[in-house]
Amino acid sequence: MSASAIVALPLLGAILPPLFARAGRTPALLAALAPSVVALLLLWGQAASVFSGVPEEVYVPWVPALGLEWALRIDGLGFFFASLILAIGILIFIYSRGYLAGNEPIGTFYAYLLLFQGAMLGVVLADNLLLLLVFWELTSLSSFLLIGFWCHLPDGRRGARLALAITGAGGLALLAGLILLGEVAGTYRLSELAARQELILASPLAPAILTLILLGAFTKSAQFPFHFWLPHAMAAPTPVSAYLHSATMVKAGLYLLARVWPVFGQTDAWVVWVTGVGAATMLLGATIALFKDDLKALLAYSTVSHLGLVTMLLGLGTPTAVFAAMLHVLMHATFKAALFMNTGIVDHETGLRDLRRLSGLAKVMPLTAGLGTLAALSMAGVPPLNGFVSKEAMLVEVLAARWGGGWPLWGLVGLAAILSAAYAFRYFSALFFGPLRLPEGRIPHDPPALLWGPPLVLVVAVVVLGLWPSLAEPLLAAASAAAVGAHAPWPELALWHGFGAPLVVSAVAFVIGAAMVWHYRALSGRVLAWALPFDGRRAFFSAQEWLVRGAHRLIARVHSGVLGRYVLLLAVVSLAALALGWGMGEGWRPQRAPTPMNGLGLIFAGVGLAAIGLVVRWHHKRLRAVLLTGAVGLVVSLAFLHASAPDLALTQISVEAVTTVLLLLMLFFLPQHDTEPVAKPRGAAAASILIGAVVGLLAWVMMRNDGPNLADYFWSRSVSEGGGSNVVNVILVDFRGYDTFGEITVLGIAALVIYALLQGMQEGVAREHLHAWRFPFALSPTRHPLPFAVTARVMLPFLLMAVFYIFFRGHNAPGGGFIAALLLALAFLIQYMASGLSWTMHRMRLDAHVWIGTGLLVAGATGMAAMGLGAPFLRSAHGEVHIPGIGPVPLASAMGFDLGVLLTVFGAVTLALVQLAHLGQLAGFLPSRTPMDPARPKPSEKEG
């Protein structure tokens, strides 16, 4: 289970840095390092088995009916990328400690980094297509938080939105592509796709699947024409740029291409599109990088170029080209992360990143200059550094390729090699050498060890892997074998392979690149005028503006502000869908005799219809409408009881009681009557009668249908599998507990939204309006009558006893957590109405937010406990416990989940009530204290 621990450690460890940050920045750093270091040790504990070709696999069913499972697999490819993610992440954590200012929330920053790290580990270790999608989207969300970390900067917010929009759109395409792939292949396991290659490629959906997957990969890895989001993400703090855009996020698309290579990698469409897009991106990125004056922009476009290089290699369709791609991924991660950190040091010390205003820094920052120069020379591919090794391997594969006849690709690669050498030479020569130029008032120097230590480690790796590249052979061979699905004779890694065409191309690139830097000013104007139109940012924002304008026009036409029209439109569409389904079906024949109507049923129907008619008649008088709506709910609950559905009756009557009180409270902030009549849609009455008749007919049809249904399934398994004879409750907490968990989560979120909205009414202009509120009727001088308060306090213990009774009997008799929660909320409401908010909240102790959070945690922990024991999420265990004097008592683990439901529902209701009561106190119609409260105000104080 080490694979699960490797993914879980950063995700769960994200809660630690914000807690330890209160003790200082160094404790926060240690809290961030611990999960990554442990995960790296666990990962390399699997090195021997991975290198021998035996992956570690973890498969736990999650939602088997959908093909979703917790499936992780550490093979050579996942091991390779996970090692980069964790190793460079550790260096980034250390670097961030010295980079971020003392007043910045470093605990939050580390938490975001750990969330992103865990998401990336999930992407590269997932062996289930759907699970990969979950982690894929989590990388987009966590990177959005990191890119926009400096949210006070407009560029940071804009860059985060742009990255999320592009990668999110690509994620939607990938979602469709992977689902189609799983359905066509008949499996959602990545490790089984290669064996079903013929089945997948024979499908007529294969071109669509390939297109959608490539869209997801190209957007994530910033390939043309989606490349423009990456440079604009450079508004993030430099540690984020160094991590996301050198070793992790942008490599996710490359990883996906390598993972599906065994299926599509040798098809003609793959070779043409992947090679062509990669080559175009490589050339365009290198061209723009050369003429950028901002250091991070230069590195960003160089990253785009190198990503295009790797994409091009993966598109060539040969196993040795995949090996060269993996080699360059490794080498690029080392020198590019070092360069980003070097740029961060320069920015940290000088406050600038502009090459037009900085030069000669080697005179004042020799250590920084040395590290930056070595990393830049590696980026240029100068021997004996590691960039030279991977560039030579790339040139060997390109010169052996026959894509497009050979010569077009050779020319593109040769030109890109020249430009790469030029922008790398410009980086270190213009920044560190020449006359000393500094911003006024700044005297920079080499930074403390926390800042130069991590890039030093990477530069040492740059040198060592250049001199002894064979050290990386086992890792690269395992990754390449896992990517292509077979072991192949991999190229030998060495610094020197003798004289040949690749060496000649490198030498020519160095000479011409140096000459271009020498004549930089003469070239910059002309080339920029050609390259900048391909930036893409302007086209994206123009398209975005066009879509927004179109959406406004559509909203202006459809959203008239009349609720009746919305309901009518919804009803008409529903009727059309119903008619379509009815026409495509086999028709209907009544199979069950109608139930005879008795007098009591007629009374219920008559009262309900009368109340509904009065609501329609008096809808503009809000108080009457609320009371009559409550009467309708009461009739419905009686109808449930008459139909032998006590659980539904209890739920309905509890909901009606609580919501009626909340609605009555809310009426204080609304006009007592509709002041302006609203024009009704034409034909509204006829449409209403038609809709009511159709819905009634549908209900009658369903009740007379005697076909197979799910009721028999649940009746037969409620006791044997759920351990309870109350089928309704067993369905809610066991058979469909996942649905219930989602519903209480939504309820908790809704309560928080209500809290936020009503909290806003207690501030600013809204607060002044509440203070100036004048009611059209006189308020009672006795806000909380003494008999009512005394009676309510006497009732409280009995109501709480009823709550316990309803809760504990719910698994075998009518009741359960939801009904108990509503009854508890009702007890709270009675105390509030009798004695006021202050008296009630003073004795309640716990905040409503705590109730909601605790309820969700308890419910989730119950489900996770089942998974920990090898059962599906929320599978209930049940049995009997013998209690002396009482006898056998049936118990089920679902009671824990039911307790979570109780806490969440009660917290949601009380949160809404408390916020309404606070508004009432501000408006003056609710007292803040009561005569019976021991903390009564002094006589001189004004009663609220």
Q: Are residues 288 and 419 in the same domain?
A: yes
Provide the domain count of the chain: 3
pLDDT number for residue 405: 54
Runs of H (alpha helix) within 291-318: 295-315
Position 555 pLDDT exceeds 70: yes
Q: Are residues 644 and 760 in the same domain?
A: no
User: How far is 307 from 253, CA to CA, in rounded Å?
Assistant: 9
User: How far is 571 from 550, CA to CA, in rounded Å?
Assistant: 26
| Listed residue (145, 26, 143) closest to 96, CA to CA | 26
- Report if residue 449 sits inside a domain: yes
pLDDT tens digits, 148-202:
888 888 888 888 888 888 898 899 999 999 999 999 998 899 989 988 999 999 9
User: How far is 944 from 942, CA to CA, in rounded Å?
Assistant: 6
Q: CA 659, 665, 666 angle in degrees (round to 5)?
A: 90
Q: CA 531, 537, 541 angle in degrees (round to 5)?
A: 145
pLDDT band at residue 681 under the 50/70/90 scheme: low
**Domain containing 528: what range?**
268-535
At residue 439, φ and ψ (nearest 5 deg) are -65, 145
- Report if residue 839 sits inside a domain: yes
pLDDT number for residue 16: 92
pLDDT tens digits, 787-829:
777 888 888 888 889 888 888 888 888 888 888 888 888 888 8
Give the number of other CB atoms < 10 A from CB of residue 642: 13
Least confident of 440-454, 516-530, 574-588: 516-530
pLDDT number for residue 551: 87
DSSP string computed for 766-806? HHHHHHT---SSPPPS-SS-HHHHHHHHHHHHHHHHHHHHH
Least confident of 4-8, 639-643, 678-682: 678-682
Place of tokens 């949601």: 908
Q: Are residues 669 and 738 in the same domain?
A: no
Highest mean pLDDT among 113-122, 559-568, 590-599, 603-612: 113-122
| Listed residue (566, 389, 580, 355) closest to 472, CA to CA | 389
Runs of H (alpha helix) within 559-668: 563-584, 599-617, 622-642, 646-666
User: How far is 459 from 488, CA to CA, in rounded Å?
Assistant: 31
- Report if residue 447 sits inside a domain: yes
Q: Are residues 617 and 519 in the same domain?
A: no
Least confident of 53-67, 187-201, 755-769, 896-910: 755-769
Q: Are residues 527 and 453 in the same domain?
A: yes
pLDDT number for residue 769: 63
Least confident of 339-343, 476-480, 831-835, 893-897: 831-835
Q: Are residues 320 and 427 in the same domain?
A: yes
Mean pLDDT of 912-934: 58
pLDDT number for residue 844: 67
- Report if residue 36 sits inside a domain: no
User: How far is 214 from 224, CA to CA, in rounded Å?
Assistant: 12
Last residue of a domain, one of 486, 511, 535: 535
> Contact at 8 Å (CB) between 252 and 82?
no
Q: Are residues 399 and 531 in the same domain?
A: yes
Q: Are residues 316 and 459 in the same domain?
A: yes
Place of tokens 């519903």: 743
Q: Are residues 529 and 436 in the same domain?
A: yes
In three-state secondary structure terms, 73 is: strand
At residue 414, φ and ψ (nearest 5 deg) are -60, -45
Beta bridge partners of 128: 189
Position 762 pLDDT exceeds 70: no
Q: Which residues contact residue 736 at a Cβ distance below 8 angstroms, ignoring those fewer than 6 apart?
A: none
Q: Which helix (H) or strand (E) holds 504?
A: helix 501-518
pLDDT band at residue 578 under the 50/70/90 scheme: confident
Position 832 pLDDT exceeds 90: no
pLDDT tens digits, 874-887:
777 777 777 777 66
Here the tokens at position 328 are 């360059």
Handedness of CA 378, 389, 267, 200 (dihedral sign): negative
pLDDT tens digits, 413-451:
889 999 999 999 999 988 998 888 888 777 888 888 889
Mean pLDDT of 281-296: 88
User: How far is 341 from 355, CA to CA, in rounded Å?
Assistant: 16
- Report if residue 873 sits inside a domain: yes
Here the tokens at position 380 are 């240029």
Q: Are residues 831 and 922 in the same domain?
A: yes
pLDDT band at residue 314 under the 50/70/90 scheme: very high
pLDDT tens digits, 232-254:
888 888 999 889 877 678 889 99
pTM, two decimal places: 0.71
pLDDT number for residue 928: 47
What is the average pLDDT score of the chain?
83
Mean pLDDT of 643-664: 83
Place of tokens 């992947």: 274
Mean pLDDT of 852-856: 90
**Percent of the chain surpassing pLDDT 90:** 30
Highest mean pLDDT among 433-437, 517-521, 911-915: 433-437
Here the tokens at position 441 are 């008032």
- Report if residue 110 sits inside a domain: no
- Report if residue 282 sits inside a domain: yes
pLDDT number for residue 585: 60
pLDDT number for residue 938: 42
User: How far is 430 from 292, CA to CA, in rounded Å?
Assistant: 12
Mean pLDDT of 888-917: 83
Q: CA 312, 318, 322 angle in degrees (round to 5)?
A: 60
pLDDT tens digits, 365-408:
999 999 999 999 999 989 899 999 998 889 888 888 766 556 78
Least confident of 386-395, 442-451, 482-491, 693-702: 693-702
> Contact at 8 Å (CB) between 225 and 536?
yes
DSSP string computed for 840-880? HHHHH-S-HHHHHHHHHHHHHHHHHHHHHTTSPTTPPPEEE
Question: Residues 847-865, buried b or exposed e (16+ Cβ, 10 A)?
Answer: ebeebbbbbbebbbebbeb
Q: CA 335, 339, 344 angle in degrees (round to 5)?
A: 150
